[in-house]
Amino acid sequence: MLPKENYTPFAIVGFILSTAIFVVFQIYLIREPARIIDDMEADRVAAVSAGRDLYEENCSSCHGVFGEGGIGPALNSRQFLQIASDKALFNLTITGVPGTTMPAWGQEFGGPFTNEEASQLVAFIRSWEATAQEIEEDVITPDPVRGATIFATTCFVCHGKNGQGTEITRALNDPSRLDDFDNAWYRSTISFGRPAKGMPTWGTVLSPQQLDDLTALIDAWRNGETVLTDIPLKTRLKSALFALRQFNITDALVHLNEGLSLADRNQAETIREVITLMEADKIVAAKNLLIVLLPPSEIGEELYVSYCAACHGTDGSGGLGTNLNDNLYIQSQEDAELLTFLLEGRSGTAMEGYKGLLMELQIEDIVAFLRTLQE
């Protein structure tokens, strides 16, 4: 008969190991939240550091080195940071602000920033909140004319010229309909949108002042007033040319028809010829004729404001970038050489090339504008 085996030592060892595993696991559970917090804080610090570099290189010339404001509004403001969510800051960075000098910085909208870089920039701006100052902003009275200008460049696509509606939407500029809701409702609707009706959220794109201006426009329409836009002819022509280059015939026609009332006799005749060419599907000929009305330097100025002013100043007087007025380098280069420089950029500096971001024709227009700064 075989001797009876003794499993007690194995049981004791198993119990000790199980207890040890349990103890280690409990220690892990106790320490894990602190570890996660430490990792999150390390990630935040790294994002703030990267965002600081992005801000200094791209944003400080408009918003101030310390976010105190300048060409653009103050960002290091307690009032602003309390009402602006991280999502709103991110979206405003990515899409820009229509009707202002704030361009779109997100790559999907033609800018240089990835979504990660935009998030890093937001993290840096948010880091100001703990020590942000009380900055009294200028009180600007809502203006229906400014609202009409925003509407004519942003909202008319869905709601039609002057809010008269389209084939897919009812007229918005209808006093009897506008009486159904007050200004607060319309401002909230513009801000938060109506997704089920196809109305996007504009509160993350338009500034609070622009929302107020649009509400003032609606209030004027409710009172039966006619509000004219404050868009000059050259802006209409630039917008039409941009739309043509994107093969957006509908928007181009809207801008050209609006421009007719602002044009002199000769200009109006040329605009009508452009419209006739477009209707005949002769888009290239239409663009070539439209350019006759709009010097390349005018187009280049708009592109410069969107892509260059953040570093070089809206008037070319410099900031983070070089002063471009009476600039010896520009004066010493041929147009083709400046075109190559803008395409390739300058290695080792913040001056990145625009190859893949802008078309060569657009860069030629910027060069034409830079020539005007040498006068």
DSSP-based three-state secondary structure for 327? coil
Max Cα-Cα span within the chain: 123
For the chain, how are helix, strand and coil distributed in percent, rounded to 5? 65, 5, 35
Q: pLDDT tens digits, residue range 191-213?
A: 888 888 878 888 877 878 888 99
Q: pLDDT tens digits, residue range 49-71?
A: 999 999 988 888 788 888 888 77
Packed helices 233-245 and 265-279: angle between N→C axes, nearest 10 degrees: 20
Mean pLDDT of 290-296: 80
Burial class (CB in 10 A: 0-12, 13-18, 19+), 71: middle
- Can you say whether the dihedral through the CA atoms of 165, 168, 170, 172 is positive or negative? negative
The torsion of the CA quartet 110, 115, 120, 125, rounded to 10 degrees, works out to 60
Token pair for 73 = 């509004």
How many whole angstroms separate alpha carbon 27 and alpha carbon 175? 69
Mean pLDDT of 244-271: 86
Residue identified by tokens 């109006």 is 268
Spatial CA neighbour of 305 closest among 212, 223, 370, 211: 370
Q: Model pTM? A: 0.48
Say if residue 128's pLDDT is above 80. Answer: yes
**Contact assessment for residue 175 and residue 165, using Cβ atoms and an 8 Å cutoff:** no
Residue identified by tokens 């990515």 is 94
pLDDT of residue 38: 66
If you ran DSSP here, which 8-state letter would residue 357 be given? T
Spatial CA neighbour of 306 closest among 153, 111, 122, 93: 111
Token pair for 162 = 């002057």
Say if residue 106's pLDDT is above 90. Answer: no
pLDDT of residue 124: 93
Q: Give the residue with greater pLDDT, 95 vs 1.
A: 95
Q: pLDDT tens digits, residue range 9-20?
A: 767 777 777 777
* Beta-bridge partner residues of 194: 199
Token pair for 233 = 């002819």
How many whole angstroms separate alpha carbon 367 and alpha carbon 338? 7
Q: pLDDT tens digits, residue range 311-357?
A: 888 788 877 778 898 888 999 999 999 999 998 888 777 787 888 77
Mean pLDDT of 138-163: 82
Mean pLDDT of 222-251: 83
How many whole angstroms separate alpha carbon 364 and alpha carbon 223? 47
Mean pLDDT of 99-106: 75
Mean pLDDT of 178-183: 88
DSSP-based three-state secondary structure for 273? helix
For the chain, percent of residues with pLDDT exceeding 70: 91
Token pair for 180 = 């159904």
All residues at 6 or more sequence positions from 100 whose CB lies less than 8 Å from its CB, including other chains: 207
